[in-house]
Amino acid sequence: MITTQLNLIRRGVFQKDVISGNVSNYKHWTNKTKSCQQVKLWNIILRGDTGLDIPVKQEKFKRLIKIKRVISGRMKPFDKVNLYTAIKPLEDALVNLGWLIDDSDIYRDLEVCQARCEDLDTWEREQVKYGSKIFVEIYDLEENIP
């Protein structure tokens, strides 16, 4: 088994929740523009005061993007396909802002999960006040881009 070293380069916490892929699937074309609106919104949010505003350019190492959706109260978790669909606008915004060269598997690995507030570690629990949060961690892997 090959072990890859992780080097955390940035971490951000966002109060905005992602929107399920079911919102735009099988809908009229006017509703499908919500995905484009979400990318623009994430561009603005990531440029804010979160620490992700100034990207560390991706040079020679593949990146690992970890995204965790935190749910609380009576919120239902997304199924796996909807969860990955929901974070696509966030991933596109990371590309737009220069954190990733591209969102293909050559340049990044992606880990997406969701958890209830009570299942979070200490640092994450301190960040969660009300409602949903999105945690994003960006790592450089000791794995060269081909």
CATH of the domain at 52: 3.30.1330.70
Helix (H) or strand (E) holding 37: helix 29-46
User: Which tokens belong to 34?
Assistant: 């919500």
| CA 90/CA 2 separation, integer angstroms | 29
pTM here? 0.85
Q: Write the CB contacts of 134 (distance below 8 Å, at least 6 apart in sequence).
A: 13, 14, 16, 17, 18, 67, 68, 69, 70, 90
| pLDDT-flagged residues of the chain (< 50) | 1
Helix (H) or strand (E) holding 114: strand 108-116
What pLDDT, on the 0 to 100 scale, is given for residue 29?
55
Number of domains comprising the chain: 1
Domain membership flag for residue 69: yes
Domain membership flag for residue 1: no
Largest pairwise CA distance in the chain = 48
Domain membership flag for residue 65: yes
Tell the residue number behind the tokens 């958890």, with chain if given: 115
Q: Write the CB contacts of 138 (distance below 8 Å, at least 6 apart in sequence).
A: 8, 9, 10, 11, 52, 56, 63, 64, 65, 66, 94, 99
Domain of 130 in residue numbering reads as 6-144
